[in-house]
Structure 1
């Protein structure tokens, strides 16, 4: 795998003066850079650790519950020109479906509280259809009985980082502040408005999931 990357002029990403083997980059021109990252389920390893891939001279970063995407994914035919004028390639690309993506992002936000995790999560919930439709996708996956630990941690993280509780209103929580800050809202009224919108979105989603589960139990 490393030989293939080198042959295509990718280089190891250098962070704090140290090259990494799980993230590779290639600068195409002054405006475009291609970054390749290798990720794997953490399993018994601690999350965020680079683990060597046997025989490939690369490593993969461990992500808690990443194996959820092995079962919960969508497929799309994608056609695009390859680098170096090698022609147009049409391939089937697999990507995490809405429940898998939101669950993994919620867990990541719960662990590291990065602005982008909150923004990605809200973006996918907002633009994947009505809340009833998004909740239906969750309910369908939950009903399979698969990945129950991941589902439990993800739903708990959503409630903790976006919901009202005895410690404060949802819009005051870490997830909502991170979402608003990612979009650069500096005006206090705009900041609060963005936080209230996102809080309402996630809280309504959780209520709708519970309602659909109760209706189908």
Structure 2
């Protein structure tokens, strides 16, 4: 689970224990990696088959993206992600109930999560930087199941017209084009994003090529629909 910390909120709060103490109280410990324990990744083994991993993230701001930086007063670090701050403005809320671990009863809370444009933008930028198969799979999954292309494009169009976070939008759309779009170097289905999506799901040769073409076509269709909606007179 990725959690983007709002440092301004943390800085103004003094009524709770540190994030590290809260995580430890719930049975989490620092994830052990090569070189020692991680300060921004925490884990808890639920049973022999399930392990929950929490990754703490923060907007990079003026810092170099991809670095783990200590969060003042919280005894944890957070990995710096470029443009992660967009989720503080672009989010949805859902009231959910779920049983807590250790048989502590059912907790009902309102959870905030990145909306479709924010999620796709950040995943596209991440895919452009590290080219991991799961980033491509997550991105395509959200675009595919968030609604029709017209609906998803409308969500993007609304965010673009809001005037907020224009640099993040430009970077995200450019990353989508780079990873899935046709250009002078290759057809979209041959690009890293399309190949990464297909490799994540696997299959025989025909199925893999079919998945590549599907992913490229979906994103190209989304980009075309966003452009068409932006061209319409309001």
Q: TM-score range by the shorter chain?
A: over 0.9
Tell me if 1:213 matches 2:210.
no
What is aligned with 1:35? 53
Write out per-residue CA displacement over residues 161-186 of structure 1, whole angstroms, 9 at most, x where no aligned residue: 1000111110000000000000123x
Secondary structure of the equivalent of 2:207? helix
Quick one: which of 33, 42, 45 aligns to 1:24? 42
CA distance in 1, matches of 2:205, 2:53: 35
CA distance in 2, matches of 1:192, 1:4: 46
Deviation (angstroms), 1:189:
1.2
Tell me if 1:199 matches 2:216.
yes
Tell me if 1:76 matches 2:97.
no
CA distance in 1, matches of 2:190, 2:50: 37
What is aligned with 1:49? 67
What is aligned with 2:159? 141
Tell me if 1:66 matches 2:84.
yes
CA distance in 1, matches of 2:46, 2:223: 43
Deviation (angstroms), 1:84:
1.1
CA distance in 1, matches of 2:233, 2:202: 41
Secondary structure of the equivalent of 2:232? helix
Deviation (angstroms), 1:119:
0.6
CA distance in 1, matches of 2:213, 2:183: 15
CA distance in 1, matches of 2:201, 2:158: 32
The gaps in structure 1 that reach 5 residues or longer are: none
What is aligned with 1:93? 111
Quick one: which of 22, 25, 43 aligns to 1:4? 22
Secondary structure of the equivalent of 1:216? coil
CA distance in 1, matches of 2:131, 2:114: 21
CA distance in 2, matches of 1:3, 1:43: 26
CA distance in 2, matches of 1:202, 1:141: 18
Deviation (angstroms), 1:21:
1.0
Deviation (angstroms), 1:17:
3.6
What is aligned with 2:16? none
Q: Please report the TM-score for the alignment, with normalisation by the length of structure 1.
A: 0.97
Secondary structure of the equivalent of 1:38? strand
Q: Over aligned residues, Cα RMSD in angstroms?
A: 0.9
Equivalent residues, number? 216
The gaps in structure 2 that reach 5 residues or longer are: 1-18
What is aligned with 2:139? 121
Runs of 4+ that moved beyond 6 A: none
